[in-house]
Amino acid sequence: MDPVPPTDPEVVVVRYTGGREVVFFSSSVFLPASDYKDSLNPILVASKEKISIIIIIIIIIIIIMDGRKDVIEAWYMDDSDEDQRLPHHREPKEFVSLDQLAELGVLSWRLEADDVDNDKELKKIRKDRGYSYMDLIEVCPEKLPNYEDKIKSFFEEHLHTDEEIRYCLGGSGYFDVRDHSDRWIRVAVKKGGMIVLPAGIYHRFTLDTNNYIKAMRLFVGEPVWTPYNRPHDHLPARKEYVEAFVNKEAGCHAVEAR
Ligand SMILES: [Fe+2]
């Protein structure tokens, strides 16, 4: 009994790369061709409309199952001068979705931090994005030389002329980024969360009250960690960022307002 060919249009395969892979398919793939023709399986007699509904439900399930949310969360910050390591939520809390972060150029993944050496998704990201350089950093008073100075410089608002890529392998920390209106968004990253801050975005980093993060740093070619403290709006990297993400967003709102 031959299985239904894999080109069967009723086989639904959905791949999702946000940290998990989910594959759905109709049970027809397990049926012999003869049974398939007889349409004994209710899925096979489903109309195209029904299949569309099934696909929509699957997409909704995938969105709900977005594994990134377990390890990366973002919200607008309050204006308090309290300890920078506190969450600094607004009242009421104002969360920011990962899609909103993507609109700022901030990319995110959830990866398998306990199996870094064999993680095919990490390898693929590195290959696709050209991240040839990799090292590990631990930020805590005991492990980081010149801890006090470093933690201060990390929290100075700055930009880089290249992407800042951080993959949290242990502990946690906050990456703060400016939105289109110059408001601070706090991005909390835990073990398994990987983020890319685009070149030219103003940002800063701080530990949270756990006081520890272990992170993989990735880079295209030889790493350049130079921070350019705000203001450095004249740098080409900043101009390109503004053009690609800030002005584009302003243009969208202008069109909407017409
Ligand atoms: Fe930075």
List pLDDT tens digits, range 135-186.
999 999 999 999 999 999 999 999 999 999 999 999 999 999 999 999 999 9
Q: Per the structure block, which two tokens stand in for 112?
A: 């398998």
Burial of 130 (0-12, 13-18, 19+ CB in 10 A): exposed
Q: Which of 31, 47, 65 is the last residue before a domain boundary? A: 65
Q: Which of 65, 84, 116 is the last residue before a domain boundary? A: 65
On whether 232 is known to bind a ligand per the annotation, the reply is no
- Cα–Cα distance for residue pair 152/194, rounded to 1 Å: 23
Mean pLDDT check: name the lowest of 3-12, 132-141, 187-196, 222-231.
3-12
- For ligand 1, the distance from its centroid to the CA atom of residue 186, given in whole angstroms, is 14
Same domain flag for 104 and 219: yes
- For ligand 1, the distance from its centroid to the CA atom of residue 164, given in whole angstroms, is 6
Phi, psi of 108 (to 5 degrees): -150, 150
Same domain flag for 94 and 57: no
- For ligand 1, the distance from its centroid to the CA atom of residue 139, given in whole angstroms, is 14
Residues linked to residue 139 through DSSP beta bridges, in sequence order: 213
- Cα–Cα distance for residue pair 255/258, rounded to 1 Å: 5
- For ligand 1, the distance from its centroid to the CA atom of residue 248, given in whole angstroms, is 23
pTM score: 0.76
On whether 253 is known to bind a ligand per the annotation, the reply is no
Domain of residue 40: give its range: 1-65
- For ligand 1, the distance from its centroid to the CA atom of residue 173, given in whole angstroms, is 13
- For ligand 1, the distance from its centroid to the CA atom of residue 229, given in whole angstroms, is 10
* pLDDT at res. 137: 97
Q: Which of 65, 80, 99 is the last residue before a domain boundary? A: 65
**Do 213 and 168 form a contact (C-beta atoms < 8 A)?**
yes
Q: Band the pLDDT of 102: cuts 50, 70, 90.
A: very high
Please, what is the Cα angle at 248 between 60 and 232, to 5 degrees?
A: 120
Higher pLDDT, 15 or 43: 43
- Cα–Cα distance for residue pair 199/104, rounded to 1 Å: 11
Peptide bond into 3 cis (omega under 30): no
Same domain flag for 212 and 153: yes
Same domain flag for 249 and 128: yes
C-alpha torsion angle, residues 21, 26, 32, 33 (rounded to 10): -110
**Do 167 and 216 form a contact (C-beta atoms < 8 A)?**
yes
Same domain flag for 158 and 73: yes
On whether 164 is known to bind a ligand per the annotation, the reply is yes
pLDDT at 240 over 50: yes
Same domain flag for 216 and 233: yes
Rg (CA), the chain: 23
* pLDDT at res. 58: 76
Same domain flag for 77 and 24: no
Same domain flag for 205 and 83: yes
Q: What is the count of structural domains for the chain?
A: 2
The arithmetic mean of pLDDT across residues 71-92, rounded, is 98
- For ligand 1, the distance from its centroid to the CA atom of residue 37, given in whole angstroms, is 60
Q: Of 65, 94, 64, which Cα lies nearest the Cα of 77?
A: 94
What percent of the chain clears pLDDT 70, i.e. is strictly above it? 76
Number of helices (H), then strands (E), belonging to the chain: the values are: 7, 11
On whether 234 is known to bind a ligand per the annotation, the reply is no
Same domain flag for 244 and 153: yes
Same domain flag for 45 and 78: no
Phi, psi of 159 (to 5 degrees): -135, 165
Same domain flag for 189 and 115: yes
Same domain flag for 141 and 155: yes
